[in-house]
Amino acid sequence: MVKLYQEKINNTEPTFLPIPNTILKDIHLKDRQWFTKLVHLEEVYPYLEIIWKNLDFLFSKEIRTTHNNLLCAISENQFTNDKDLLRKPSEYINLLKNKAYYQFFYTQFSPLFKTIGSWLTGISSINYAWKEEGGVLLKIHADMVGSGNISHGLSHQFELDASTVDLIFPDVFNNTFTQNLNIQEYAFNLPVFLLSIAQFPEKLYPESLGVNLAMAQYLDKLSLINQYEKSIFSNLKHRNFTKISILAINQYIKYNNTLDKINNGYNTTINIIRKFEDSLFSDLVDSKKFSNNTAMLSLIQKLGKYGHGYHKRGKISDKPIDDWLISDNFSPNHLLNALASSRYISPGQPDKSTFVKLIKNPKGAMFGVFSEQDIEIVETWIKDLANQDITQTNFLVSNSNNKINSVPIKDLDEKIIAQANLKALDKYSNFTLQELYPLFLHAGCYPDILPTAKNFAQNWLAAHKQALKQEGLPFYPYSHERLDKWLDVQHLHQVNSYIPLEGIPKESREDIINDAIALAPLTLIDGAWLRNASTPARVSTYIGGLQYRTLLDELGGGDINLHHGNIYKQLLESMGIDIGKFTDKKFATSILFDEDDFKVPTFWLAISLFPHSFLPETLGLNLAMELSGVGGEYRRSGDILSYYGFSSLFTSLHNTIDNVVTGHSAWAIDAIKHHLDNIFQQGGEQAREQHWERIWTGYRSLNHPPKENWFRSGMNHLLHRTFKKAFNGKALNEKVK
């Protein structure tokens, strides 16, 4: 990423963790490392100030581009000046000469397609999906990720294309993906930018609209290449994302005069796309990159550094092989030169080469180290040596700039992070629930609230875990069959608990209105506990896909008329209540609400910010939430609403979509089973039982913790414990300032 602190955007900076600038300036990470942290959402939290400064710099640069008349482009509903946005299809066709070229081509696109739609995860979620343009953006994101069905998403379509040339990529959250040296460093630059902007949806909303328009146009163009050459992106279906992205911008600028910022986001993204394409094409025209020598060199570079200590006997060029492999002096090109002329290689005859026997024969000393693809590279290289003068050959590392550790990497020290977290916890230690609610909701504006959010969720869950020790699990040990039986009992109870309303309800009209108001902070953010299910590391998994489908339904699937919060707001309006916008900071301090009205919704917002740390608990919470939407209580509420002349759409909608057979409750059960199966495979029965307890703790967490003052007492305990840890357990009583 770029250097820090060079220029400023006209945006009020978010409030970051109190880490000194002198320390932040000393952090050195390449795009490959930034990609890893951004994909693992919780890992990037301490680095958000650096991310912001890099975006600040990018959006502050003056970009010379032919795409500066965005207003004209939008009004014409097309882009007439886009010939240089993407290379002509004929250029791809002419350059992709064989399988090696195709493999390289798809590999460089893999970081982008494995994180497809990442730039939309903030501006299409809870805070915005209730608005007109937000609904449109949600539709775009849902289309890109297959609406939670992995096989329907652009990422899967891309992987189908890559598989035609025998490429299989690991999951995006798997470190082996980012450590793949076949992915060039420049291939991470665009995805890192897109993942970065998603961290600040409130601060960079108009810029994000421009980013989305540029990406929509780019994806549309990539999907049209197969019209010229069927073998390139043949599975990538054309969606016309550009048209619907323009619609979102037009809806937004009707009420917001921010076209300059939208234009800035658009032009900045176009510039980054061009740099990626320039680098890609520069590599594709370099024939040396696709020679057998280069493939062999990359293989030596990948495996050689792990060989030291295992080759003490053999020699190459009168030098012990182990000496060639010492990490400080490891030189792949020098080793390959020596290997080519050694006794281990018979040029042109791989079957007679000792090296091939060592790696291919089951009795060979290196059998199992080289994959079948690796062995094919070795054999092809040896065959090609027959056409070369070994004494004159000098193999050069063409991708020397792509070494993961070519630049010293420096992360933030854990003690520095712990101290910053302590100060942030202290800052918000006396905030009320009504003050925390908007901060958790707009965490992109207040990244220093994140330690408090995690502490809030931990203490809420800890109180439920303590109560669980007394009450016990519903059944033990865990099994799918027992879970199914338990669900049947719950379903039967829900059905039998419904008693149709006869006569006048015991609740008065005023009671119903007051209850509806009290539930507004919760119901207007329906689905909030799953708001980060849209991130690449979540939505690309089976469980994450199920969660995303649920979230998508709660948000109306992009149709603001079906958005659950909007439906509830209409109900309140029919009662004569103007509740205001839940996204406004003053919403939570309205005289309409009591502090207790914010307990559960604040917990939802807190736990949602840590989708990995609290995955088991979120699975349980999700089941509890979806089961609460079916059966007697909701049906009776609908009857009472109808009796007083109010719409019962909100309650009837949940009774339908939350059903236990094909709806949200069924998906929640499926996700739990899938998770526990994964845990059992990884850690056995004991690990599964531990996660089952965590899931049930999450199930309980839909209700208020039974313990009084759970948050404040928990906060004080955490401050004390974390303080001791940060300073190696020294008993320091002085307050952190």
- pLDDT over 50 (residue 714): no
End-to-end distance of the chain based on CA atoms, in angstroms?
Answer: 32
Across 131-140, 366-375, 521-530, 711-720, least confident range: 711-720
- Which tokens is 5 given? 């602190």
Distance between alpha carbon 599 and the CA centroid of its chain, in Å? 27
Which residues fall within 8 angstroms of residue 722, CB to CB, at 6 or more apart? Answer: 418, 421, 422, 425
Query: Which residue(s) pair with 633 in the sheet?
Result: none
491 HSE (CA, 13 A, CB side):
14
Q: How buried is 246 (Cβ within 10 angstroms: 0-12 exposed, 13-18 middle, 19+ buried)?
A: buried
Inter-CA distances, 264 with 55, 196, 220, 236, Å: 12, 16, 21, 28
| Model pLDDT, residue 409 | 63
Inter-CA distances, 328 with 324, 325, 406, Å: 10, 9, 12
pLDDT digits (tens, 9 = 90+) for 444-453: 999 999 999 9
Select from 287, 283, 285, 377 the least CA-distant residue to 336.
377
Residue 736 region, left (φ>0) first, then alpha (ψ -120 to 50), else beta? Answer: beta
CA dist 3 and 282 (Å) reads: 25
Q: Tell me, what DSSP letter sits at residue 12? A: P
CA dist 134 and 69 (Å) reads: 24
- pLDDT over 50 (residue 100): yes
Amino acid in the structure at residue 135: G
- pLDDT over 60 (residue 4): no
Q: Tell me if 668 sits within 8 A of 619, measured CB to CB.
A: yes
Q: DSSP E strands: which ranges in 208-363? A: 315-316, 319-320
The model carries a pTM of 0.86
CA dist 184 and 178 (Å) reads: 10
- Which segments of 223-287 does DSSP mark as H helices, in order? 241-253, 259-284
Cis before 206 (ω within 30): no
For the segment 544-555, the average pLDDT, to the nearest whole number, is: 96
User: Token pair 């409750």 is at which residue?
Assistant: 665
**Which residue would you say has higher pLDDT here, 241 or 92?**
241
3-state secondary structure of 176: helix
3-state secondary structure of 410: strand
- pLDDT over 50 (residue 43): yes
- pLDDT over 50 (residue 394): no
For the segment 385-390, the average pLDDT, to the nearest whole number, is: 69
589 HSE (CA, 13 A, CB side):
9
CA dist 453 and 456 (Å) reads: 5
Q: Quickly count: other Cβ atoms within 10 Å of residue 11's Cβ.
A: 16
Domain ranges of the chain: 21-62+95-286, 291-396, 431-706
Select from 142, 297, 113 the least CA-distant residue to 219.
113
3-state secondary structure of 178: helix
- pLDDT over 90 (residue 555): yes
- pLDDT over 80 (residue 68): no
For the segment 501-514, the average pLDDT, to the nearest whole number, is: 89
| Model pLDDT, residue 1 | 44
Which residues fall within 8 angstroms of residue 75, CB to CB, at 6 or more apart? Answer: none
- Which tokens is 447 given? 């990244």
Distance between alpha carbon 522 and the CA centroid of its chain, in Å? 25
pLDDT band (50, 70, 90) for residue 65? very low
For the segment 703-727, the average pLDDT, to the nearest whole number, is: 52
- pLDDT over 70 (residue 725): no
| Model pLDDT, residue 356 | 87
Q: DSSP E strands: which ranges in 580-712? A: none
Q: Tell me, what DSSP letter sits at residue 28? A: B
CATH 1.10.1060, domain 21-62+95-286, yes or no? no
| Model pLDDT, residue 711 | 55
| Secondary-structure percent of the chain, ordered helix, strand, coil, rounded to 5 | 65, 0, 35
Which residues fall within 8 angstroms of residue 677, CB to CB, at 6 or more apart? Answer: none
- Which segments of 9-88 does DSSP mark as H helices, in order? 21-24, 31-39, 41-44, 48-60, 70-76
- pLDDT over 90 (residue 230): no
Select from 91, 92, 70 the least CA-distant residue to 82.
70
CA dist 441 and 463 (Å) reads: 23
3-state secondary structure of 221: helix
- Which segments of 519-562 does DSSP mark as H helices, in order? 520-523, 536-539, 542-554
**Which residue would you say has higher pLDDT here, 189 or 5?**
189
For the segment 121-143, the average pLDDT, to the nearest whole number, is: 97
CA dist 60 and 369 (Å) reads: 49
